[in-house]
Copies of this chain bind each other. A is one copy, B any other.
């Protein structure tokens, strides 16, 4: 299975690396990190760069496309080369997926019209302008071959769900154990529904900074 991950400046690292850590372990999976140009791509927090091993024009198809989000998403929404690449690869995929604000890129490429989708809670209201129907209560939203995840860490749940569909429950469960994914967050403030108003304000201040 060929998996293409789109990288761009100021993406959020965990959006891509969480799903990668799961999907790359499916027997037979081949992952290629792809960006406008080959070479290191800086993430939003600037102290981390991930290497793109292929330029967009070197990848014209994939069984699974993964589009991460991040503050850099906005700049991609108006980039015809990126949107055209997403559309072209999407025409070849079995699964087209996103994490966090990556769903806005799928939307801008015209892929989510009339579809249910999700995104990071901070940008969920950006989906309707692309004709998508945002759902704020589900962490992973499947609509046909389109699978979108909520913010950042939700990509791990997305990838395990997809792995079950692609390779079967036994393989997905074995990969869950391999990455010891038995989460025990020390706080219960991981969603808008669970966080206090003070925590939500604190998160918005961090987002703005």
Contact = CB atoms under 8 A, between A and B. Distances in A.
Interface of A: 12-14, 17-18, 20-21, 24-25, 27, 30-33, 40, 45, 47-51, 53, 100, 120-121, 139-140, 150-154, 156-157, 160-161, 164, 169-187, 189-192, 194-196, 198-200, 202-203, 205-207, 209
Ranked 6 nearest A-B pairs via Cβ: A151-B180, A182-B190, A174-B202, A183-B183, A173-B189, A152-B179
Nearest to A99: B180
A14 B23 CA distance: 12
Q: Is the interface of A mostly helix, strand, loop or mixed?
A: mixed
A176 B202 contact: no
A47 B53 contact: yes
Given A12-B21, A31-B45, A51-B49, A190 B177 contact: yes
A79 to B, nearest CB: 23
Most buried by B among A157, A161, A206: A206
B152 A153 contact: no
A139 B182 contact: yes
Contacts of A176: 185, 187, 189-190, 195
B178 A182 contact: no
A188 B176 CA distance: 8
Given A47-B31, A48-B33, A152-B21, A203 B177 contact: yes
A50 B33 CA distance: 12
A198 B170 contact: yes
Contact of A174 (B157, B177, B194, B203): B203
